[in-house]
Amino acid sequence: MTHLFKNLTNSIWHAFHALQADSGNTVAKSKLKVLTANIGTLMDLYGVEKGLEHYRSTQYLTFDQYTYYLQKEVFSSVTDATSIQTLRALEEGIDEICWLICKKVYLERSHPVFEDHSVYQLFRIYCLLAETEPDATDAYLITMHGDEVARIASHLVMSLGLQWDAVDFSALSAAIGMFRFSTFLAVLESKYSGGNTLDTVALTEAIDDLYQIYVENVVKKGYLMKKGFLLPTLRYFWFVLRPGELTYYKDSQQKDPSGLILLNANCWADASVNSGKPDRRFMLSTPEHRCIELVAEDHKGRLQWLAALQIAIQHSGEKIGYQRSLANQRRSLRQAIKQEKEETKLELQHERQARVAAEIQARKLEALSKEECAKVQQLEDVKHKLELLLQEEKQALRDEEIVRSLQARVLREEWEKREQLEKLQEEQQKLLEMEKMKRLEFERMQQENERQLQEADLRLQQLEAERQNLDTELRAAREKVKRAEEAQLLLEAQILARPLRGGERIRRTQSFIPTTKERPLLEKLESSRPMTLHKNL
């Protein structure tokens, strides 16, 4: 009874937290009746929710008050004689009831990656590994330690075929601290689910593998060859090993079991030796099935199965799940380490206090000693007093000299540091001046380039103007030549049309030949035009 209620405390807390109307850490009895009735129906207890009306005089209950009622009125029906299978069925059913109440809070996400069923499986894993922490408001918080989150996240990452970065997770865990379920789910979805590179089937299979290991207490699973009882032939089966039982199926789908082998403290597993050399075979001895011969895929697999069988046999009679017992051991180890650190801190504080007390006592004893010395000195003669005063004065002078030498050394070091700083400042000033000179030189060069560019532009404009003038003169010359040719053609036509006279000779004029005054102008135009075009290009 105690183990069942302790196993379900985390899931009941999530349901209780989902039913809270405000931040008062209390829930109305009317809402708790529904949860209590469902739990009672699952445990064949009817009407158990009616006792909440007479339980305490308030209409609201805290989590402590509600769990006390469940422990006394509901879970008291579970005895130590209840079988392990019944306890597992009750735990699964109550977890599912609590999930139906609180799933709306966790399934409504902005960017969901996992399927709803996978989130439920992660919820059960979280409730198994989470711890109860006191809150600042005298309430409770269910959180998971960073080591447990690292264990789950690394298993998920390696199942997906990705690379696990322990250093990165350590930094993330230090930043977050303790993980609530929403934070745990967000971290797995956003950082350790492979993003959009993996399909939903791979994620579902990976989470289902986690669920089988942590919730269903699967110690090991895989293919083995089993020798039959009637026919001595070896057949492949898919074996699933849990504490107290070894189930085998036809394939890895695990739909219909082909057989079940119960394990207890009277069972043992031994390696088979063939002709003095070990092979892949090993024997499982049970009181019911006697000796069962199994064959692994390789020698390494046989060793792993033998170790897993030893674990399953060792934990066969426990009502606490194997993974839950491992989690409790890890939690106890963390608490022991934390307590050891606190004890070490307390010891250091005690030692510090003892040292301070010893120093105070030493000062008191020193003061008393000085007083006694002063009384003794008063009884001494004047000469002894003068000698003592002289010695004290010499000692004071020596101390003063020591102090002065120390002050001089400190002052000298300060001057050296100051000189170094001044040198650094001068070097920085020189660098700044050099940078200024470089910048001025660069600006001067830039201005010179701009001036040259402007001069080149002006020269280009002048050449363009000259080219345009020359083009104008060339066109005028060509027009003049054209008019001369037209006049010549007209004159020839008139001469041919006029009849010949007796002594008149017909002079045929040839093509137009420029005059002596026009020829240099045409040569200048023709020679300057290609050069102008070349410069423009």
Q: How far apart are CA 95 and CA 162, in angstroms?
A: 31
Question: Parallel, antiparallel, or unpaired for β 277-286 and 290-295?
Answer: antiparallel
CA geometry: angle 26, 28, 34, nearest 5 deg: 120
pLDDT score for 507: 47
The CATH fold of domain 220-320: PH-domain like (2.30.29)
**What would the two tokens of residue 279 be?**
């092979």
Residue 501 is given by DSSP the state -
The shares of helix, strand and coil residues in the chain, as percent rounded to the nearest 5, are 65, 10, 20
Cβ neighbours, 10 Å, residue 61: 21
Q: How far apart are CA 142 and CA 135, in angstroms?
A: 10
**What would the two tokens of residue 240 be?**
């699933």
- Residue 66: burial class (beta carbons within 10 Å; 0-12, 13-18, 19+): buried
The DSSP secondary structure of 86-154, one letter per residue, reads HHHHHHHHHHHHHHHHHHHHHH--SS--S-HHHHHHHHHHHHHH-EEEE-TTS-EEEEB-HHHHHHHHH
The DSSP secondary structure of 416-441, one letter per residue, reads HHHHHHHHHHHHHHHHHHHHHHHHHH
pLDDT score for 519: 57
**What would the two tokens of residue 18 be?**
């989902």
pLDDT score for 505: 46
pTM of the model: 0.64
CATH 2.30.29.30 in the chain: give the residue spans.
220-320
- Name the amino acid, one letter, at 485: E
Whose CA is closest to 519, among 483, 482, 481, 486? Answer: 481
Q: How far apart are CA 129 and CA 331, in angstroms?
A: 9
Residues 6 or more apart whose Cβ sits within 8 Å of residue 139: 25, 62, 63
pLDDT in tens, the chain (537 residues): 567 888 899 999 999 999 987 667 889 999 999 999 999 999 888 888 888 888 988 898 988 899 999 999 888 888 878 888 888 899 999 999 999 999 998 898 888 889 999 999 999 999 999 988 776 565 678 899 999 999 999 999 998 888 899 999 999 999 998 899 999 999 998 888 876 666 788 889 999 999 999 999 999 999 999 988 777 788 999 999 999 899 999 988 888 899 998 888 889 888 865 645 557 888 899 887 678 889 998 889 999 999 999 999 998 878 788 888 899 999 999 999 989 999 999 999 999 999 999 999 999 999 988 888 888 778 877 788 888 888 898 999 999 999 999 999 999 999 999 999 999 999 999 999 999 999 999 999 999 999 999 999 999 999 999 999 999 999 999 999 999 999 989 998 888 887 545 444 444 444 445 555 555 555 655 565 544 434 443
